[in-house]
Amino acid sequence: MTRSIMTILCALILLTACSGAWAQTDKGGLVFMGTAAFSTTSGDGSVTVFNLSPRAHYFVADQIGIGGRLGFNSVSSGGMTFTDVLFGPDGLYFFKTSSDELLPFAGLGLFLSHHSNGKSTTGFTFSLHGGLAYLLKEHLSIFPELSLNLESRDSNSTTTVMIGVGLAGFLY
């Protein structure tokens, strides 16, 4: 699985690095974004976390991208594994700046989520997120992102604040 993820990321980097025009957020463009994370902790109780979240957006108007997201999260601790899978629509707005290299953005999404820890539950997750894409090459950027996720599953609700870094490829 790790090899497949690396192959996809390398293909995205090659596609975006070899294209000819400057990254665009104009109507008709595409942006492919993704974050991946892995952490492991040892001590009294070891915990391993793996997270993958690819997404794609089509610019329906200048600066406005509509698309979808797929998320996968796995947490292993004490011989037990908990998994979360979510998918659904996601929207982004890219703000205009005087800089050609910085693209601040804000977005929101509503996702169907499925949680499994021996028994399965399904719910909804609302995400409010934003970040700053820094263009490394004409079509390739790295972005830090802050996300507030509100999840409702059965009669339980949780709030998660996440910060991460990802890659984005702009195609025009």
The CATH number linked to 86 is 2.40.160.20
Query: Residue 129 sits in which domain range?
Result: 2-171
The pLDDT of residue 7 is 52
Instruction: Render pLDDT for 103-138 as a digit per residue (tens, 0 to 9).
Output: 999 999 999 999 888 888 899 999 999 999 999 988
Cα distances (angstroms) measured from residue 67 to each of 74, 90, 103, 108, 168: 24, 5, 18, 11, 14
The pLDDT of residue 162 is 85
**Domain tally, the chain:** 1
Q: Of 144, 49, 65, 57, which Cα lies nearest the Cα of 102?
A: 144
Q: Of 106, 114, 65, 107, which Cα lies nearest the Cα of 87?
A: 114
pTM, 2 dp:
0.77
Q: Which residue has the higher pLDDT, 9 or 115?
A: 115
